Amino acid sequence: MRRLLYSDYETIAKKYRDNIFKNLTKTHPLKNLDDLKKRISPTPHNGYQKYIDYIDEIIKNFEDEKNPEDLLLVKPSEVKKSWDNYKKSKSFCENDFLGKHKALFLTQKELEEAPWDDQNDKTQFNDAIVDALRYDYVRDSPYGFVSYFNDLNINACVYCNASYIVNTNIRGKTPGGKNRLEIMGRYELDHYLPKSQFPFLCVSFYNLQPSCPFCNRWKSIQDSDFNLYTDVKNDLDPFEFELNQNVITSLAIDKRENVRNILLNCKDQNLKTNHNDVFHIEDLYKSFDDEAEELLWLKDAQTHGYQQNIIAVFGKLFSKVGMSLSTDQIVRLLYRFYANGDIHKRPLSKMRLDLAKKLKLY
């Protein structure tokens, strides 16, 4: 729900680009793409050239540290902007992504065709590109995305901020039968720009958005407008949770089933509608009324001057056992969000932080 700045993730994105396919030789994406071309080229045919050009354009711009246009690091927001420009004007703009990579523009119908020399091969072109680029490896291998996930410092679904997503170490076996710890990602990888329409972005770092299985499933039915990364600091927090006006006035949760106490605000009305339509956020957060109620109790305690006492007493209690908690840590203990506002570290912290601010608790 909160965006990340591209510039803060450049180092990890470059590490991903330089290493992700290092262990692959026989099934490296570049080799697979070459093989894929051979499935098309033996039979020159009207229209077949565009598929070869498409593959060549990926090869030319893939896993190349000297190439500023490397597709593994391309910003999907730039790709989307150029696609929207094209849809509006029906022409390529020379300086944007599509203008520079015209061969990567195929219609959805063209992407779903099977342009193979073997007429019995019904594999769609977009699926073949996703296979060739080894999305399966990025998603499933212990050397895939899981190896880079911890560097993102994200522990909650990027769409709903309501479910934990984490790497866990599990006991596994080596091929020789020895015990070893393996990393397992308890999340799914969602593509901001869908791989059916943008198969050349299926393994691009910034296009992979870790999410809970529910959000990923809902998004497979309807496109989301929420891009996790941005270049603009003012765009970091498009959403804000709010309490129903009656709750603010009465400082009590309305327990009736059909009343939404926690509401989602967004300056961009289209984004708000889309986020609610795709991920059912306000309906989901109806289940967290009890969390909001606890903040109201704390508001009550604050009104009666108890909260400062709690902070003072907690401070003393912990110092007795040799610990000293900072005010930020006590805020974390009381409200269960990080005082620096990092809502990605813990589920529901976006809601708690926004409501605590609204209630002037914090």
Min dist. Cβ of residue 135 to Zn ion (A)? 21
Min dist. Cβ of residue 163 to Zn ion (A)? 5
Q: Which of 135, 159, 187, 285 lies at the binding interface for Zn ion (CB under 5 A)?
A: 159
Stretch that binds Zn ion, among 17-25, 136-144, 172-180, 210-218 (CB under 5 A): 210-218
Sign of the dihedral through C-alpha 341, 346, 350, 354: negative
Q: Which of 160, 165, 334, 353 lies at the binding interface for Zn ion (CB under 5 A)?
A: 160
Min dist. Cβ of residue 348 to Zn ion (A)? 11
Min dist. Cβ of residue 228 to Zn ion (A)? 12
Min dist. Cβ of residue 343 to Zn ion (A)? 13
Q: Which of 157, 193, 203, 330 lies at the binding interface for Zn ion (CB under 5 A)?
A: 157
Q: Which of 215, 253, 292, 355 lies at the binding interface for Zn ion (CB under 5 A)?
A: 215
| Nearer of residues 212 and 296 to Zn ion, judged by Cβ | 212
What does the radius of gyration of the chain's CA atoms come to, in whole angstroms? 24
Min dist. Cβ of residue 274 to Zn ion (A)? 15
Min dist. Cβ of residue 353 to Zn ion (A)? 17
Q: Which of 212, 278, 292, 295 lies at the binding interface for Zn ion (CB under 5 A)?
A: 212
3-state secondary structure the chain: CCCEEHHHHHHHHHHHHHHCCCCCCCCCHHHHHHHHHHHHCCCCCCCHHHHHHHHHHHHHCCCCCCCCCCCCCCCHHHHHHHHHHHHHHCCCCCCCHHHHCHHHCCCHHHHCCCCCCCCCCCCCHHHHHHHHCCHHHHHHCCCCCHHHHHHHCCCECCCCCCCECEEEEEEEECCCCCEEEEEEEECEEEECCCCCCCHHHCCCHHHEEEECHHHHHHHCCCCCCCCCEECCHHHCCCEEEEECHHHHHHCCCCCCCCCCCEEEEECCHHHHHHHHHHHCHHHHHHHHHHHHHHHHHHHHHHHCCHHHHHHHHHHHHHHHCCCCCCHHHHHHHHHCCCCCCCHHHCCCHHHHHHHHHHCCCC
Using CA atoms, how far residue 271 sits from 1, 158, 354, in Å, is 11, 15, 18
| Nearer of residues 82 and 227 to Zn ion, judged by Cβ | 227
| Nearer of residues 115 and 210 to Zn ion, judged by Cβ | 210
| Nearer of residues 33 and 215 to Zn ion, judged by Cβ | 215
Stretch that binds Zn ion, among 144-152, 160-168, 318-326, 332-340 (CB under 5 A): 160-168
Min dist. Cβ of residue 243 to Zn ion (A)? 22
| Nearer of residues 183 and 284 to Zn ion, judged by Cβ | 284
Stretch that binds Zn ion, among 207-215, 270-278, 289-297, 344-352 (CB under 5 A): 207-215
Residue 218 sits in the site that holds Zn ion (CB under 5 A):
no
**x/- letters, 106..145, toward Zn ion (CB under 5 A):** ----------------------------------------
**Binding positions for Zn ion, rule: CB under 5 A:** 157, 159-160, 212, 215
